[in-house]
């Protein structure tokens, strides 16, 4: 089996392969580095392919080797063959003298690079990331792979995937919905699928040394999603009429800005009544309990008075039989889909309130904090944002100035300068 070996005495690399039933070892002066191994592996691939094709010329690759003269004297089978025309390349050519290494322009056969198929590498890539990704991330990547990417790219060798393939694939899933026949995907979903493709191809390009075809493929322009927070009056109305056993749950959601998974993964050891803090350390979904979305999501959320009273009431109701703050009658975490279907939507409909996603409770907390004049930096920390950038980007129209009335400062300036001057 052909391979790249290391000479122990000099710690330099050598070619080790079989040709015409003889073991051939050709020494170089290249040190054992990753870059040098990669260069030599490319040469070795060409050698193997030319041997298989019957066009291998020993002297072309190793002109100073004594074996080259022996094979030439015995009628080197490949020396008389004419290799297909390919653009000249510069490659390392070596001989058996340990101190000799020259660079020479040669015109070898240009074999196809060696790489696995897209499906083979995608399985490797997904397996390697399972140790570091959250379960929801793994699940989303698996869905995109099985539903969209594999039906198109599965049997293609990685090196053969080019930019035209990527653009054609993007157009196809945007137009036909991929495996969801008759259903057009949103620009957001298409971008998510292409992000997985880009991650796979970027890793493969680095490992197998070919140009990344996704490097200059741009994201589709997606529509901006506008938030729909509740007014304070709507919050009061909802809490007044929601099912009593869910009053504490929604009080916490409306006045803390916790994400759905953070609320459902909340456990009593992470409730600090003395310091009036909620310690956000875990999240929960149908896939189970796991670490929060990211490092920035690990935070301490201050309890306002309504939240403090709600958690005290909840502790009296369920603290004696479950580790989870909000739980079912048997002590297990409540399921988001059940809350949405059985409590949230029916209550909105009964009160005549606009139908919204349950996630709007998080946006409501942020806008209420902004309306009260809390510092943006403090709000960002409560929300689990690492900076105020997201706060101003998402909630810009809800950020008041120091007068608590947007535009009033400019009105006052105009009145002083124009009105006073007159």
The Cα 122–Cα 150 span in angstroms is: 9
Q: What is the pLDDT averaged over residues 327-340? A: 91
The Cα 260–Cα 254 span in angstroms is: 11
Between these two residues, 277 and 375, which has the higher pLDDT value?
Answer: 277
Between these two residues, 255 and 110, which has the higher pLDDT value?
Answer: 255
And the tokens for 358? 């349950």
Q: What was the pLDDT predicted at 72?
A: 81
Give percent helix, percent strand, percent coil of the chain, each to the nearest 5. Answer: 50, 15, 35
- Where is mean pLDDT largest: 24-33, 232-241, 282-291, 394-403? 232-241
Q: Is 384 left (phi over 0), alpha (psi -120 to 50) or beta?
A: left
* pLDDT surpasses 80 at 226: yes
Q: Model confidence at 114, in pLDDT bands (50, 70, 90)?
A: low
And the tokens for 187? 């620009």
* pLDDT surpasses 50 at 93: no
Strands 277-280 and 282-285: unpaired
Q: What is the pLDDT averaged over residues 324-340? A: 92
Nearest to 297 by CA among 398, 385, 167, 182: 385
Q: What was the pLDDT predicted at 110?
A: 39
Q: Model confidence at 82, in pLDDT bands (50, 70, 90)?
A: very low
Cβ distance 198 to 214 under 8 Å? yes
Percent pLDDT > 90 in the chain is 44
Q: What is the pLDDT averaged over residues 276-281? A: 94
Is 1.10.443.10 the CATH number for 232-398?
yes
Cβ distance 213 to 162 under 8 Å? yes
* pLDDT surpasses 80 at 142: yes
Q: Model confidence at 289, in pLDDT bands (50, 70, 90)?
A: confident
* pLDDT surpasses 60 at 112: no
The Cα 96–Cα 90 span in angstroms is: 20
DSSP assignment of 357-384, as one string?
Answer: -TTHHHHHHHHHHHHHT--HHHHHHHHT
Chain centroid to CA 26: 44
The pLDDT tens digits of the residues spanning 46-61 come to 898 888 888 888 888 8
* pLDDT surpasses 90 at 257: yes
Do the two domains 118-208 and 232-398 of this chain adopt the same fold?
no
| CATH of region 118-208 | 1.10.150.130
Q: Model confidence at 38, in pLDDT bands (50, 70, 90)?
A: confident
Q: Model confidence at 33, in pLDDT bands (50, 70, 90)?
A: confident
What per-residue string of b and e applies to 148-170 under the rule 16 or more CB within 10 Å gives b?
Answer: bbbebbeeebbbebeeebbeebb
* pLDDT surpasses 70 at 101: no
Kindly list the domain boundaries of the chain, sorted by start residue: 3-106, 118-208, 232-398
The pLDDT tens digits of the residues spanning 124-136 come to 999 998 878 878 8
* pLDDT surpasses 60 at 85: no
Average pLDDT for the chain: 83
* pLDDT surpasses 80 at 391: yes
The Cα 124–Cα 239 span in angstroms is: 49
Neighbours of 60 (CB within 10 A): 20
Q: What was the pLDDT predicted at 239?
A: 96
The pLDDT tens digits of the residues spanning 160-214 come to 999 999 999 999 888 766 555 556 788 889 999 999 999 999 999 888 888 899 9
Separation in Å, CA 61 to CA 91, 95, 344: 9, 8, 74
């Amino acid at each position: 089996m052909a391979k790249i070996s290391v000479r122990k005495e000099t710690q330099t690399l050598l070619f080790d392969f079989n040709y015409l039933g003889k073991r051939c070892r050709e020494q170089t002066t290249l040190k054992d580095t990753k870059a040098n191994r990669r260069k030599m592996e490319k040469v070795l691939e060409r050698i193997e392919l030319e041997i298989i094709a019957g066009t291998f010329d020993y002297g072309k690759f190793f002109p100073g080797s004594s074996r080259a003269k022996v094979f030439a004297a015995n009628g080197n089978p490949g020396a008389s063959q004419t290799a297909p025309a390919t653009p000249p390349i510069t490659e390392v050519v070596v001989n058996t003298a340990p101190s000799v290494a020259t660079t020479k322009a040669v015109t070898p056969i240009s074999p196809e690079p060696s790489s696995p198929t897209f499906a083979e590498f995608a399985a490797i890539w997904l397996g390697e990331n399972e140790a570091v990704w959250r379960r929801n991330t793994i699940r989303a990547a698996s869905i995109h792979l099985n539903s969209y990417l594999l039906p198109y790219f599965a049997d293609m060798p990685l090196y053969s995937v080019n930019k035209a393939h990527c653009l054609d694939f993007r157009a196809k899933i945007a137009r036909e919905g991929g495996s969801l026949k008759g259903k057009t995907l949103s620009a957001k979903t298409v971008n998510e699928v292409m992000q997985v493709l880009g991650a796979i191809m970027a890793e493969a390009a680095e490992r197998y040394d070919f140009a990344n075809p996704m490097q200059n493929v741009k994201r589709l322009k997606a529509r901006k999603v506008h938030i729909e927070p509740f007014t304070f009056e709507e919050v009061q109305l909802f809490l007044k009429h929601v099912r009593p056993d869910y009053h504490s749950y929604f009080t916490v959601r409306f006045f803390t800005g916790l994400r759905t998974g953070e609320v459902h993964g909340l456990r009593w050891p992470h409730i600090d009544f003395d310091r009036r803090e909620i310690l956000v350390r875990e999240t929960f979904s149908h896939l189970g309990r796991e670490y929060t979305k990211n490092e920035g999501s690990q935070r301490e959320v201050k309890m306002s008075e309504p939240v403090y009273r709600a958690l005290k009431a909840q502790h009296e109701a369920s603290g004696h039989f479950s580790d989870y703050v909000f739980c079912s009658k048997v002590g297990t975490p409540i399921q988001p889909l059940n809350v949405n279907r059985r409590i949230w939507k029916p209550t909105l409909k009964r009160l005549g309130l606009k139908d919204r996603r349950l996630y709007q409770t998080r946006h409501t907390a942020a806008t209420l904090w902004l309306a009260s004049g809390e510092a943006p930096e403090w709000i960002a920390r409560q929300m689990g944002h690492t900076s105020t950038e997201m706060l101003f980007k998402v909630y810009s129209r809800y950020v008041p100035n120091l007068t608590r009335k947007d535009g009033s400062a400019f009105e006052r300036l105009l009145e002083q300068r124009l009105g006073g001057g007159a």
